[in-house]
Structure 1
């Protein structure tokens, strides 16, 4: 039996439930601007993944199944019957995995800046980052990560935001951070994406190296009911760098899927 953790949660707004799942070493606060834009129509539910932010540390290693169990425990605790689920990066893997296991609980799925159909080389490249962090330490590899996450111009204009995001990673327990990075590196959704029959929004940045448009086209093609949005000029950290550009796509998609 997969043991769930009671994750820290913030609930705002009114209307159908909209659960937002952050990525590796991030926080529920990454969804603040999206929440501000959507809470007039949706009950926006943001939570910290296990071992992140205000959520308790897990007792040991965990996998995607445990992260799905945490989400189900959260749904039960909040008394939500059905929900829209949107996830970024690793969150974009947790959402579909949850929808696959609990299809009756889900209204729609948003897969933001996530990956599937990775080649052996793609997967190896992600694991190399994990190995580099294991050997050199997480802070030493952060510069490489932030260059992958944010565009150069954004880094120049908003150094304080880059530092804030780096600090989130540094404040995340090292073992937890490496654990979630391994899940992200080793999860391959391609064998089962065709089982997700909910309306899906697949959205990524044009220059997102690890979650690139080519992979996202394959994700969208594999899903029976999906639409694909490629956001020009952006890399991975679309929620932080361009939430104002992401929000209209989410609004349109959620309005179309209804409640």
Structure 2
């Protein structure tokens, strides 16, 4: 179905399952919803609402603007479209940052926040170098794979699959998991990615805002994520009502590598 934002941009959205609503915010920036597995595993617990962020995936291609405030407004358009007074939010990676930004802007419209595999509220330079080192190390387990990744252009499907394969702890199945992420392939919005990542480096006042957020928050991490999980420590300290679940054998997409542990954690938060 189509959700129309307040500036007329059309956003792809979908709802399935039953129960109180849970709205999902996908990662990126510049990617699309890859939460089909999550919707299936949670469909007996909640009505799962999925959507593609503006200019991405199945949503209308547009010229932005590529700002967190604009994406927060788009998320609110999704909420209004489905007639939700309050909603639980689950965000993954960049989507975790977006879900947190929405909760800070509109806490009265959020019942629970599930923050999955995000990168916290500290400076990007505290975790980015380690992530890049870990990415190259994972890809370098196969020197030909690393060389191929380096020669392909940004935004290329094969390059994305190779890079995403580093996100999984199960190295034997990593390429298969990454290939599923890219099927179907909608193309990466690199302009959106660059703009929002640049904005994400400038977030003054975020710690104080999180200290004042009176909402239950569940932080879910895969312990084997190549982004240092210590990046999230400052967010956990700031939030007054935070719980944290670390799944020991999972990487950046914990529902793929530990579906049972992930479902149990989210079900507990929704209850």
**TM (normalized to structure 2)?**
0.78
Deviations 1:196-254 (A, max 9, x none): 211000111112232x3322232112101010111113221223333333111000111
Of 184, 196, 202 in structure 1, the residue corresponding to residue 213 of structure 2 is 196
Matched position secondary structure for 2:207: coil
By how many angstroms is 1:31 displaced?
Answer: 1.9
The farther-off stretch of 94-103 and 157-166 is 157-166
1:239 aligns with 2:243: no
Aligned residues: 247
Instruction: Give the conservation status (yes or no) of the 8 Å contact 1:31–1:239.
Output: no
Matched position secondary structure for 1:138: coil
Instruction: Give the conservation status (yes or no) of the 8 Å contact 2:112–2:269.
Output: no
Relative distance call for 1:125 and 1:192 in structure 2 (3 A) is: farther
1:137 aligns with 2:142: no
2:17 equivalent in structure 1 = 13
Relative distance call for 1:165 and 1:13 in structure 2 (3 A) is: closer
Instruction: Flag structure 2 segments of 5+ consecutive residues without an equivalent.
Output: 1-5, 134-149
Of 80, 83, 97 in structure 1, the residue corresponding to residue 84 of structure 2 is 80
Relative distance call for 1:184 and 1:169 in structure 2 (3 A) is: farther
1:205 aligns with 2:210: no
Relative distance call for 1:123 and 1:207 in structure 2 (3 A) is: closer
Write the distance in 2 (CA, Å) between the matches of 1:165 and 1:33. 11
By how many angstroms is 1:114 displaced?
Answer: 0.4
2:175 equivalent in structure 1 = 159
Relative distance call for 1:242 and 1:48 in structure 2 (3 A) is: farther
Instruction: Give the conservation status (yes or no) of the 8 Å contact 1:8–1:48.
Output: yes
1:149 equivalent in structure 2 = 167
Instruction: Give the conservation status (yes or no) of the 8 Å contact 2:161–2:178.
Output: no
2:32 equivalent in structure 1 = 27
Instruction: Give the conservation status (yes or no) of the 8 Å contact 2:162–2:175.
Output: no
Instruction: Give the conservation status (yes or no) of the 8 Å contact 1:4–1:70.
Output: no
Relative distance call for 1:143 and 1:73 in structure 2 (3 A) is: closer
Instruction: Give the conservation status (yes or no) of the 8 Å contact 2:119–2:229.
Output: no
Instruction: Give the conservation status (yes or no) of the 8 Å contact 2:124–2:201.
Output: no
Relative distance call for 1:94 and 1:146 in structure 2 (3 A) is: same
Write the distance in 1 (CA, Å) between the matches of 2:234 and 2:41. 30
The farther-off stretch of 187-196 and 57-66 is 187-196
Instruction: Give the conservation status (yes or no) of the 8 Å contact 1:63–1:183.
Output: yes
By how many angstroms is 1:71 displaced?
Answer: 0.3
1:41 aligns with 2:59: no
Write the distance in 2 (CA, Å) between the matches of 1:200 and 1:223. 8
**TM (normalized to structure 1)?**
0.81
Of 104, 108, 113 in structure 2, the residue corresponding to residue 109 of structure 1 is 113
By how many angstroms is 1:174 displaced?
Answer: 2.9
Relative distance call for 1:45 and 1:23 in structure 2 (3 A) is: same
Instruction: Flag structure 1 segments of 5+ consecutive residues without an equivalent.
Output: none
> Which protein is richer in helix relative to its size?
1
CA RMSD of aligned residues (A): 3.1
